[in-house]
Amino acid sequence: AQSVTQLGSHVSVSEGALVLLRCNYSSSVPPYLFWYVQYPNQGLQLLLKYTTGATLVKGINGFEAEFKKSETSFHLTKPSAHMSDAAEYFCAVSDGRTGNQFYFGTGTSLTVIP
């Protein structure tokens, strides 16, 4: 079975500071990993994904994530936070065998302090 744990339901950072959102996954097979962002009253937008290959994945809006198999982690980072980054962030995992059944974490709400 697949599962995702996002540590910290709320994270606050100052504008210009490093953003670090944590995601740990559980998967019995090599996982497919995703980060999505959700703005109020909107659907989810894909930030980045890991399937195979390079473990450091770059996404949109300056975000990146590193797949660490030994730590079963896929943490999301951005060197410098912008006010527009304030949103809800979701980590998701799929085992790749059951079609597009994604398991989402409970989300992390990011606040950016001016």
Partner 1 sequence: KAGVTQTPRYLIKTRGQQVTLSCSPISGHRSVSWYQQTPGQGLQFLFEYFSETQRNKGNFPGRFSGRQFSNSRSEMNVSTLELGDSALYLCASTGGTGVGEQYFGPGTRLTVT
Footprint of partner 1 on this chain (CB under 8 A)? 32, 34, 36, 41-46, 49, 51, 90, 92, 94, 96, 98-107
Q: Which alpha helices (H) appear in 52-114, and where do they start and end?
A: none
CA angle, corner 107, sides to 106 and 113, nearest 5?
Answer: 150
CB of 14 to partner 1, least distance (A): 27
- Tokens (6 digits) for 63: 């975000």
Q: Which is nearer to partner 1, 28 or 101 (CB)?
A: 101
CB of 51 to partner 1, least distance (A): 8
